């Protein structure tokens, strides 16, 4: 009894505001799915995949390039191509400048050439952090030119898609990119070229309704949501509750929309196997 009376109590230490301020911002990350806290360095080493539950964090275009191409090197195409404001949409120029400053990109995509496992490829990687990866005139033109380069160089093209849909500030000019990119991919198919489409979180709207779903081989990262219209709009329209896993890559694989769901760690090895199976030759710069 006396032992219990004089036993020291255990207290939790709450960091002071000064201590909180001294911790560098961005040092730690909390998984949005399972809540596990990891250091940024640990997360980077694991290709931004949660070590506890396998949740795939979003990557920007340059991060995709770095983990896909040999040495992370790319010879980039059309770096100086930028969006203008043909429809004089209110605040569009300001939003473009803000996105450029935040992402250090000229638009929502990077295209170029390099090698994967020594195999020459043309790559296009979209970036959701640039205005939601919206499909505007520049994105459509860059993809079209990348496809044309694949035809000319007789190389496969790999496109990483992530987008909220068409860029509303460009109206019908944005919608025209769906037809333009699809027509370019049709020419690639006629020439016997290979197009590998990779779906990432999230892929919706005009992108999913055009080039993203036209791949000869369509892969997706785990749990990546993609479709044409978002879940909430569909539920409101049909007045029914949709399955919990609706529009995930696993759901779409089950319903025949995908060829394979591939984890981020296995994506590069899978691409190398596919390129090897198709006897890829062609010639591109190393990107160095």
Question: Encoding tokens for residue 197?
Answer: 């489409």
Sign of the Cα torsion 276, 77, 150, 154 reads negative
Total-model pTM: 0.89
Q: In angstroms, how far is CA 213 from the centroid of its own chain?
A: 14
pLDDT computed for residue 135 by the predictor: 98
CA 136-141-144 angle, 5° bins: 125
List the beta bridge partners of residue 123.
112, 158
pLDDT computed for residue 281 by the predictor: 74
pLDDT computed for residue 6 by the predictor: 55
User: What are the φ/ψ torsions at residue 126 (nearest 5 degrees)?
Assistant: -85, 160
Cα–Cα distance, 168 to 155 (Å, whole number) = 33
CA 151-152-155 angle, 5° bins: 60
pLDDT in tens, 181-207: 999 999 999 999 999 999 999 999 999
Percent of the chain clearing pLDDT 70 (strictly above): 89
- For residues 140 and 176, is the Cβ–Cβ distance under 8 A? yes
Cα–Cα distance, 81 to 62 (Å, whole number) = 17
Q: 198-212 burial string, b = 16+ CB within 10 Å, else e?
A: bbbbbbbbbbbbbbb
> Could you say which residues of the chain have pLDDT below 70?
1-25, 282, 285-288
CB atoms within 10 A of CB 234: 15
pLDDT computed for residue 37 by the predictor: 94
3-state secondary structure 68-84: HCHHHCCEECCCCCCCC
CB atoms within 10 A of CB 168: 13
């Amino acid at each position: 009894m006396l032992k219990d009376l004089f036993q020291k109590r255990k207290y939790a230490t709450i960091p002071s505001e000064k201590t909180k301020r001294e911790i560098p911002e961005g040092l730690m990350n909390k998984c949005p799915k399972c809540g596990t806290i990891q250091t940024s360095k640990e997360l980077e080493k694991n290709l931004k995949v949660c070590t506890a539950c396998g949740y795939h964090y979003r990557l920007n275009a340059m991060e995709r390039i770095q983990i896909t191409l040999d040495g992370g090197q790319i010879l980039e195409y059309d770096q100086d191509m930028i969006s203008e404001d043909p429809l004089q949409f209110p605040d569009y120029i300001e939003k473009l400048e803000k996105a450029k400053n935040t992402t250090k990109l000229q638009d929502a995509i990077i295209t170029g050439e390099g090698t994967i496992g020594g195999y020459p490829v043309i790559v296009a990687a979209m970036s959701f952090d640039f205005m939601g990866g919206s499909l505007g005139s520049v994105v459509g033109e860059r993809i079209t030119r990348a496809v044309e380069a694949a035809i000319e160089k007789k190389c496969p093209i790999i496109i990483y898609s992530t987008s909220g849909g068409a860029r509303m500030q460009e109206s019908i000019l944005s919608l025209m990119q769906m037809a333009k990119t699809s027509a370019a991919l049709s020419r690639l198919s006629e020439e016997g070229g290979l197009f590998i489409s990779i779906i990432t979180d999230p892929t919706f709207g005009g992108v999913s309704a055009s080039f993203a779903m036209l791949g000869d081989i369509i892969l997706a990262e785990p749990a990546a949501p993609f479709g044409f219209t978002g879940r909430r709009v569909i539920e409101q329209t049909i007045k029914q509750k949709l399955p919990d896993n609706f529009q995930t890559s696993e759901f779409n694989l089950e319903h025949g929309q995908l060829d394979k769901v591939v984890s981020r760690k296995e994506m590069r090895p899978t691409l190398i196997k596919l390129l090897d199976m198709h006897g890829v030759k062609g010639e591109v710069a190393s990107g160095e």
